[in-house]
């Protein structure tokens, strides 16, 4: 979640948007944007994709890094 949270926060700031601006443009609540940027573990995928679509991205499967023993 840390990578996703940082991605959204960085992109939002790069575009000069406040959290409130982002929530309005994405059609999600301000609380959702705050939770997303703070790395909340359980978020609705459809809403995350609403936010990411503003940046030309969407969620997808990513291989996990495995620790070698």
Q: How far apart are CA 51 and CA 55, in angstroms?
A: 8
The pair of structure tokens assigned to 17 is 């948007």
Contact 50, 28 (CB under 8 A): yes
Class of domain 2-53: mainly alpha
Residue 32 confidence class, pLDDT cut points 50, 70, 90: very high
- Whether 69 has a pLDDT exceeding 70, the answer reads no
Segments making up each domain of the chain, as ranges = 2-53
pLDDT tens track for 36-60: 999 999 999 999 999 999 999 999 9
Give, in order, the Cα–Cα distances in Å from 16 to each of 55, 58, 69. 13, 21, 44
- Whether 4 has a pLDDT exceeding 90, the answer reads yes
């Amino acid at each position: 979640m840390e990578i996703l949270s940082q991605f959204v926060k960085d992109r939002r700031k790069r575009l000069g948007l406040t959290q409130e601006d982002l929530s309005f443009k994405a059609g999600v609540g301000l609380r959702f944007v705050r939770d997303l940027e703070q790395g909340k573990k359980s978020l609705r995928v459809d809403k995350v994709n609403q936010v990411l679509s503003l940046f030309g991205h969407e969620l997808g499967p990513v291989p996990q890094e495995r620790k070698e023993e």
